[in-house]
Structure 1
Amino acid sequence: MGDAVWNTFVEGDNLDVLTGLPDGSVDVAYLDPPYNRATTLAYSDDFRVADDSREGPRARRGARSSRHEAWVRMMRPRLAQVHRVLAPGGAVFCSIDDREVVRLRLLLDELFGEAAFLAQVVVNLNPKGRQLGGGFATSHEYLLVYARDPRRCVLDPTSPDTVDPSDFKHVDGAGRHHRLLPLRNTNKKFHPLSAPTMHYALHGDPATGRVATEPFDGSVVVEPVFGDGSSAVWRWSRPLVDARPDDLVCREVVGRHGVRVDVYQRDWLGEGRRKKLTTIWSAAEVGSTDTAVAELRDLVGKVFDSPKPTGLLRRVLATYPPDARVLDPFAGSGTTGHATALLNAADGGTRHCLSVNVGEAVRPGTPAYDAGFRSVADVTRARLRAVAARVGGGLDEPGAAG
């Protein structure tokens, strides 16, 4: 993978392409495989099964089971290759729906190991829910996240985008915004018996807010206690309190047993502040199917009904350093390559994305066919060319003519 160009596109079977990549050559992989809603798979593994639409209930159940098995057989060698090409610090993100999420998770457990599991994120891509068909109006998909080596994984599950400034409502004399966090450890696993060195008396003055490890004029003794009055421990050691007294404040609080004095940490809102990502990502945060359709229409026309939004991929890619080597072996409409270019343009990064797509034919009468595209790979290529022209970063197309 080159450094100067942000995107490379290869048309072909992703298993063939993956097999040709060097070990450890990828930092983060994103997979959006077929969700097995059709009766055939668009890959040349000879794992397809016959259409069961005119068979009886028992035959249909058997064919559905065969489709699940065929889907797993298609995915196994590809995921094995993704595991091989990931760097020790790398991770894989896999989008999937309810239809195959259980099988995919078991398959990832098998190939990556259960200890490599990092998260199962719920992604709310359709806030209104799918209104067609029976049952509930499904509004979510999943994102399974696994590390190549959990002990060496460099994925950062925090983001500046999830920090809410309104949480930091206190302001000090210098105009710095902060919130107050109890210095007492609120986890009852930690108590004087389990953490004896963290149980000690502090000295504070609620009138001035001053906190110290030694008595001073006007101070009172402050012991760490839980709300029920039982003994607790502090989160900070004595040396840390001595080193950062200005980050602490003594206050009077009303507790279960009346007014008492307690110590709080000033948690500052500063530049570079980050917050851990939750395992539920809303459409307001990462975009929806509707915004994804609009993004694709803006570049190549309305050709797909359910592409992924670039906001989802930008959040995924932002968990890795700005020089990450990115792989998308099921490139579809090219969202990952688009997101790579947008993120590089925004933060000055040098990420490189290798997108791979099989030349699956589009059906006559579909929007993509009517727009002049004859394969899904044609759509991927057209989008990444448009991204290179509009956002920058160029596009390598090995084997392309002209």
Structure 2
Amino acid sequence: MQPWNTFVEGDNLDVLERLAERGERFDLVYIDPPYNTGNDFAYRDDIRGTRASGGAGATTRHEAWVAMMRPRLVAARAVLADTGAIYVSIDDNEAAYLRLLLDEVFGEANFLAQVVVNLNPKGRQLGRGFAGVHEYLLVHARDAKRTVLDASSADGVDPADFPLTTPDGRRFRHLPLRNTNKKFNPVTARTLHFTLWGDPETGAVRTTPFDGAQEIGPVFGDGTPAVWRWSRPLIDERPDDLVCRRVRGRTGERVDVFQRDWLHRDGAGRRKKLRTIWLAEEVGSTDTAVAELKEIVGHVFESPKPTGLVRRILATMPDDARVLDFFAGSGTTGHAVALQNAEDGGTRTCLSVNSAEPTREGSNARNAGLLTVADITRARLRAVAATVGGGYAEEGASC
């Protein structure tokens, strides 16, 4: 069986190009590239004038960062499956440039979201200005029309929102079948404006007349014409998921049609669309990420991402996804893949790539004998295999 985690030490651009040559394809790419704080990048690219000096021909630090990222994103697109998606973590230093760069490489039409991630709920207190509490996740599909990314989750579903129960124990709630958005009306959605027949005594609803039924047209609360949310064919297909009821409105009692919205339908788990703000209590914070890493390897990396963040990303893709992280850092992505597989029985695999960038003299990592950042990644993924399971393997830089 293929191990859940595989590690490659080497320059990520070289590795990506070799993966493409081999015809490798990945369903999900997640990367947390170096944020542009004005420091040099630990990559061998031949970028002239990477530090702005104000002289003629000097390249700004933004341009240098984009020049470093562009070929890597192009190479990432080449190994991304047609149904796949890429998530990129970034902060305010390069968020605007990254959005333009991703639009350039993947196409504006394939932009899916810019998610705000609340990784530091206390706020950064150093320096002047505001206390920043967030970073971003930019999400693009390889092809938005074909992607299998499902931007929903079971985590946000509250059973208390489904207060009604059938005799056999199934929970549901009533939702108006009428579309409550006035943008949808008989002018803008003509095919959804039609008559139904319902019996408030039995609750039965049909698209054609039957004994004991009343004619019901969709109207807003003020009595103006509206439209239904379901088409005739869908109503004919699922009549038992509808119910006719008497209700009181502004104009007095009337008969209306409601959908039985099930907590679980046809054995499938209920999912709720993910919002574009992810809170620390939902996905973890920088503090919890440091604690996670400290528990398994030690305090050897300054700003890891929490596994909860990556696990939420993983939950938007199939449970057998091939995952790639070519800025692997401390190995959070591989750790998250193992945790998610262990929890839900998935068969995800993760390829993590990191360079042999030296750790800082006097740092916790160096004092622990971890001489390169790749050593940190390797140590974490080995510890994950030992504690969580799933196995671990290494490949040479040539893949």
The reply to whether TM is greater than 0.5 is: yes
Identity %: 66
Deviation at 1:167, TM superposition (A): 1.4
Q: Are residues 63 and 208 of structure 1, via their aligned partners in 2, closer, same or farther at CA, if it must alter by over 3 Å?
A: farther
Deviation larger for 149-158 or 252-261: 252-261
Q: Are residues 147 and 236 of structure 1, via their aligned partners in 2, closer, same or farther at CA, if it must alter by over 3 Å?
A: same
1:127-146 equivalences under 5 Å are 127-146=121-140
Deviation at 1:283, TM superposition (A): 1.3
> Is the CA contact (8 Å cut-off) linking 1:191 and 1:199 kept in structure 2?
yes
| Structure 2 gap segments, 5+ residues each | none
Q: Which residue number in structure 2 is paired with residue 293 of structure 1?
A: 290
Q: Which residue number in structure 2 is paired with residue 45 of structure 1?
A: 45
> Which of 366, 375, 378 is the aligned partner of 1:369?
366
3-state SS of 1:21 partner: helix
Q: Which amino acid aligns with 1:170?
A: L
| Structure 1 gap segments, 5+ residues each | 53-58
Q: Which amino acid aligns with 1:100?
A: E
Q: Distance in 2 between the 1:157 and 1:109 partners?
A: 19
Q: Which amino acid aligns with 2:47?
A: F
> Is the CA contact (8 Å cut-off) linking 2:51 and 2:58 kept in structure 1?
no
3-state SS of 2:150 partner: coil
Note if 1:303 corresponds to 2:300: yes
Q: Which residue number in structure 2 is paired with residue 339 of structure 1?
A: 336
Q: Which residue number in structure 2 is paired with residue 55 of structure 1?
A: none
Q: Which amino acid aligns with 2:347?
A: T
Note if 1:283 corresponds to 2:253: no
Q: Distance in 1 between the 2:162 and 2:135 partners?
A: 32
How many residues end up aligned between the 2 structures?
Answer: 392
Q: Are residues 88 and 192 of structure 1, via their aligned partners in 2, closer, same or farther at CA, if it must alter by over 3 Å?
A: same
3-state SS of 2:184 partner: coil
TM-score (norm. length: structure 2) = 0.91
Note if 1:180 corresponds to 2:174: yes
Q: Distance in 1 between the 2:141 and 2:276 partners?
A: 16
Deviation at 1:200, TM superposition (A): 2.3
Q: Are residues 242 and 108 of structure 1, via their aligned partners in 2, closer, same or farther at CA, if it must alter by over 3 Å?
A: closer
Q: Distance in 2 between the 1:99 and 1:64 partners?
A: 19
3-state SS of 1:264 partner: strand
> Is the CA contact (8 Å cut-off) linking 2:51 and 2:59 kept in structure 1?
no
Deviation at 1:352, TM superposition (A): 1.4
Q: Distance in 1 between the 2:190 and 2:337 partners?
A: 49
Q: Which residue number in structure 1 is paired with residue 259 of structure 2?
A: 265
Q: Which residue number in structure 2 is paired with residue 211 of structure 1?
A: 205
> Is the CA contact (8 Å cut-off) linking 1:25 and 1:86 kept in structure 2?
yes
Deviation at 1:377, TM superposition (A): 0.9
> Which of 165, 169, 179 is the aligned partner of 2:159?
165
Q: Which amino acid aligns with 1:114?
A: E
Deviation at 1:204, TM superposition (A): 2.8
Q: Which amino acid aligns with 1:16?
A: D
> Is the CA contact (8 Å cut-off) linking 2:36 and 2:65 kept in structure 1?
yes
> Is the CA contact (8 Å cut-off) linking 1:98 and 1:141 kept in structure 2?
yes
Q: Which residue number in structure 1 is paired with residue 247 of structure 2?
A: 253
Q: Are residues 331 and 48 of structure 1, via their aligned partners in 2, closer, same or farther at CA, if it must alter by over 3 Å?
A: farther
Q: Are residues 232 and 40 of structure 1, via their aligned partners in 2, closer, same or farther at CA, if it must alter by over 3 Å?
A: same
- 1:46-105 CA-to-partner distances (Å, cap 9, x unmatched) read 4386778xxxxxx58999972111111100110110011111111111000011000001
Deviation at 1:202, TM superposition (A): 2.2
Q: Are residues 242 and 149 of structure 1, via their aligned partners in 2, closer, same or farther at CA, if it must alter by over 3 Å?
A: closer
- 1:203-260 CA-to-partner distances (Å, cap 9, x unmatched) read 3343443333344555433210122321112122334334433211222333333332
Q: Which residue number in structure 1 is paired with residue 353 of structure 2?
A: 356
Q: Which residue number in structure 2 is paired with residue 379 of structure 1?
A: 376
Q: Are residues 93 and 277 of structure 1, via their aligned partners in 2, closer, same or farther at CA, if it must alter by over 3 Å?
A: same
Q: Which amino acid aligns with 1:26?
A: F
Q: Which residue number in structure 2 is paired with residue 95 of structure 1?
A: 89
Deviation larger for 198-207 or 329-338: 198-207
Q: Are residues 208 and 97 of structure 1, via their aligned partners in 2, closer, same or farther at CA, if it must alter by over 3 Å?
A: same
Q: Distance in 2 between the 1:16 and 1:241 partners?
A: 55
- 1:174-227 CA-to-partner distances (Å, cap 9, x unmatched) read 322112111012233433344444322223343443333344555433210122
> Which of 64, 70, 78 is the aligned partner of 1:70?
64
Q: Distance in 1 between the 2:393 and 2:147 partners?
A: 29
Q: Which residue number in structure 1 is paired with residue 3 of structure 2?
A: 5
3-state SS of 2:139 partner: strand
- 1:143-173 CA-to-partner distances (Å, cap 9, x unmatched) read 0111112222111112212212121122233
Q: Which residue number in structure 1 is paired with residue 314 of structure 2?
A: 317
> Is the CA contact (8 Å cut-off) linking 1:24 and 1:88 kept in structure 2?
no
Q: Distance in 2 between the 1:240 and 1:367 partners?
A: 62
TM-score (norm. length: structure 1) = 0.91
3-state SS of 2:112 partner: strand
